[in-house]
Amino acid sequence: MTTTTVAQRVSTASGNNSSTLTGTGLLLRLYLRRDQRILPVWVFYLGIIPVFYSVAFGHLYPTEQDRQKFAAASSGFASLEGPLFGTSLGAVTVWWSGIVYPLIALAAVLTVARHTRAEEESGRFELVGATAIGRCAPLTAALALAVGGVAVSATITAVGLIAIGRPVTGSIAFGLAIFSAGTVFAAVAAVAAQLSRSARPARGIALGALGVAYGLRAVGDSGSGVLSWFSPLGWSQQLRPFAQERWWVLVLPAAATTALLVVAYALVRRRDLDAGLIAERPGPATAGRRFTGPTALAWRQHRAAMLAWSVGLGLFGLLIGNTAHAVTTQFGTNETVNEMIRRGGGGAALDQAYIAVSLGEFALFATAYAISAVLQLHSEEEATRAETLLSTATGRTRWAGGHVLFALLGPAVAMAVCGALTGLAYGLAIGDVAEGLRESLGGALVQVPAIWVITAAAMLLFGAVPRFATAAWVVLGFVVTLFIAGFFVGLPQSLLDLNPFAHLPKLPGGQFELAPIVWLLVVAAALLGGGLVAFRRRDLR
């Protein structure tokens, strides 16, 4: 189903119907068709992660005594995971799965932004809006898709936990906690889509709100806990699944979501099509001396994202570096966990191995930034801006190379900032800043070749099969699965070897080896070259 088909069907079926929701069902079908590859990935993975963790913790902490020892030192990780309420297996699972709340919120934000402001900016809304489609139908369909995906993820979590024997009440409460976090930020994205005329600033506003919410939750949980009550992510935690659930907390996300949706629908009725509530300042009539080519244009498009990811990963690095020295206290009594962390980190010292594992996780986030940078090429081509630019003397390789440059440079910068701040915090904790910086910075930078392999794979998809360019997110999901499974599940080594991060030296604490770095760089160069050659030879879509 295409946008043109939707416009024709709405025009035929609606007649003179002036309802503001006319055509919502057809638009939802269109959005489902367009997201048929990426939607099932994030819905399934975010739903199954807590179930996977719960099974793993059942083996790692089988007795109440084991879980009490684990809980005794959990306060050192409150800024990362939040407070631990209770020592039951379900409560420990919820605590360790705290990362699901911001991830489900992120998925909801990107889904709503993609099908609201991005569609409007591309001009496709103008085609559909020329029919008898209702004024609020596009926003309603986008919200239905995002909230529906969040609901399925939450259901997978709740049903999965019940299936493996966790208490029914706590499982349902955890599912509702996940659902509330996602719906609040779907509503935040709906409001953000009405504020800015362009998709990128709209996403930035919504993601900025998510960052503030995470910061309030992290600072609040590491202190008195008061600030956590000002964060939707904190509300999800305060529901306390598996720990004498407090159902009244659900009133807070319900009220916030309702208020935000009222604002979003009021704004969508008042503003003009392809306009935002925040007026854009006109740029200069002529470009500056530094704005002289496609690379400068790519810098203009990527600099904000590069800064945001660098700052975000840097803050995570500070948290990890500050808590790494407490790992020995938390996990030192559980030999199974010690072996698991050392296997993932490669070092004999538990705190160094923990930093190595954490830097590997941060590298996956940096890979997400790199993929989004490559897919900027896809967005420019879909919006026909690439066709306009390439009709000038600018060649395809030069244009694509500008975006690829920042897709490669951006994650390297972000990982360098993350490694430096991790090393600074860790060095202050152990009393040797120079050693902490050297080890953590090396552990961060060694991740870059593996990031570049996946980045190059995304470029190959865009260049050779542009219709499936967004399947790069599926590649990342597969790598994340192998990364997690490598700790808990005995998968065949041949399958684990498909993860480029599995071949990296385990730093800090492990032995540096140059050979795998060189091989990963060779693979990345081959994939990247193949993608650029394929792009030069194919027609523009």
Q: Are residues 334 and 468 in the same domain?
A: yes
Q: Are residues 274 and 300 in the same domain?
A: no
State the Cα–Cα distance between residues 79 and 52, nearest whole angstrom: 23
Any domain includes 142? yes
- Encode pLDDT of 122-163 as tens digits: 667 666 666 667 778 888 999 999 999 999 999 999 999 999
**What's the number of domains the chain is made of?**
2
Distance CA 122, CA 500 (A): 35
> What is the model's pLDDT at position 180?
95
The answer to which of 75-79, 261-265, 377-381, 479-483 has the lowest mean pLDDT is 75-79
Asked if residue 308 and residue 456 are part of one domain, the reply reads: yes
pLDDT over 60 at 344, yes or no: no
The shares of helix, strand and coil residues in the chain, as percent rounded to the nearest 5, are 80, 0, 20
- Count of helices and strands (H, E) across the chain: 25, 0
For residue 470, give the 3-state DSSP assignment.
helix
Look up residue 276 and give its DSSP letter. Answer: -
> What one-character DSSP code corresponds to residue 449?
H
Residue 530 lies in a domain: yes
403 and 345 share one domain: yes
Average pLDDT over the chain, rounded to whole? Answer: 81
Residue at token pair 């209770």: 86
Residue type, 312: G
410 and 522 belong to one structural domain: yes
Q: pLDDT tens digits for 26-58?
A: 888 888 888 887 888 888 888 988 888 888 778
For 265-313, the pLDDT digits (tens) are 988 887 766 555 666 666 666 766 667 778 888 888 888 888 888 888 8
Q: Could you tell me the residue range of the domain that residue 266 belongs to?
A: 20-278
Query: Are 186 and 108 in contact, with CB atoms under 8 Å apart?
Result: yes
Domain edge (last residue) among 278, 311, 326: 278
Residue 528: its pLDDT value, please? 93
Shared-domain flag, residues 198 and 318: no
Residue 298 resides in a domain: yes
Same domain, 273 and 301: no
Contact of 322 with 425, CB cutoff 8 Å: yes
Structural domain contains residue 286: no
Taking residue 105's Cβ as centre, other Cβ atoms within 10 Å add up to: 30
398 shares a domain with 447? yes
Q: Is 6 inside a domain boundary?
A: no
Residue where a domain stops, chosen among 220, 249, 278: 278
Quick check: is 7 in a domain? Answer: no
Angle, vertex CA 82, rays to CA 57 and CA 208, nearest 5? 120
Q: Specify whether 407 is located in the same domain as 491.
A: yes
The token pair that represents 262 in the structure block? 């009222």
Q: Tell me the residue length of the chain.
A: 541
Q: How far apart are CA 7 and CA 519, in angstroms?
A: 50
Domain match, 223 and 370 both: no
Q: Distance between CA atoms of 463 and 392, rounded to whole angstroms? A: 20
DSSP 197: S
Query: For residue 5, is it within any domain?
Result: no
Query: Is the residue at 316 inside a domain?
Result: yes
Does residue 187 come out as left (phi exceeding 0), alpha (psi in the -120 to 50 range) or beta?
A: alpha
Same domain, 159 and 241: yes
Is the same domain home to 335 and 244?
no
Q: Is residue 57 within 8 Å of residue 192, measured between CB atoms?
A: no
Which band of pLDDT confidence, cut at 50, 70 and 90, is reported for residue 14? very low
pTM for this one? Answer: 0.74
Q: Which of 248, 278, 308 marks a domain boundary?
A: 278
